[in-house]
Chains A and B, each alone.
Chain A
Amino acid sequence: AQKVTQAQTEISVVEKEDVTLDCVYETRDTTYYLFWYKQPPSGELVFLIRRNSFDEQNEISGRYSWNFQKSTSSFNFTITASQVVDSAVYFCALSEEKAAGNKLTFGGGTRVLVKP
């Protein structure tokens, strides 16, 4: 069965510091998809990135970067030069190719607090 673990429940940093969120996943499927979502105080989950299991290339989008390592089953997320607006709960999620539909399996989330 699939599982996603986000070991860090809460991280507190001072503005401009870098912060890395860990995500470790388990799956028996050879084809799968990994996601990061951001949940700001308003409540909705905002999509940040999707990665498929065949694409291990790291990605950078502005201050956000992602490190996908199949060898360690990890998909970590780094926010560079954090800002107060980055304060939110961040969820890592997994979708398996063989699973019926496209349901997401979420980690427990990591709350990031960026202090000015």
Chain B
Amino acid sequence: EAGVTQFPSHSVIEKGQTVTLRCDPISGHDNLYWYRRVMGKEIKFLLHFVKESKQDESGMPNNRFLAERTGGTYSTLKVQPAELEDSGVYFCASSPRTSGRGDEQFFGPGTRLTVL
């Protein structure tokens, strides 16, 4: 079974440009999460999809970030326009849809974003 995949693995862009990150969760996982780690700090939650619906987007830093999950499969995270402080590693995770909480989340390798 394939794990969570993310594309690209590394992106270097100029300030003001647009970047789109993609995440393919494990097949059949309804829950999809985005996290990011900036400047060696804690990994912080960005948002959570259940299928195609946004369950919680309380961690999105501002309206320059737009996440979508059309069809409830893969997800994209667009940053437009990118700023220097957006540099960091963006992780995607997925988990099956279960009735209980505390489910293990399966993480991808992350996309390292560098904004110059």
Contacts and interface: CB of A to CB of B under 8 A. Distances in A.
B7 interface: no
Interface in B28-53: 31, 33, 35, 41-45, 48, 50
Point out which of B48, B50, B59 has the most chain A C-beta atoms below 10 A from its C-beta: B48
A47 B4 CA distance: 13
B16 to A, nearest CB: 27
A44 B35 contact: no
Contacts of B4: 44
23 contacts: A43-B110, A44-B3, A44-B4, A44-B109, A44-B110, A45-B91, A45-B93, A50-B102, A50-B104, A100-B48, A101-B31, A101-B48, A101-B50, A101-B56, A102-B31, A102-B101, A102-B103, A103-B33, A103-B48, A103-B59, A105-B45, A106-B44, A109-B43
Interface of B: 3-4, 31, 33, 35, 41-45, 48, 50, 55-56, 58-59, 89, 91, 93, 95, 101-110
Q: Which 3 pairs show the lowest CB-CB distances between chains A and B?
A: A33-B102, A45-B107, A101-B48
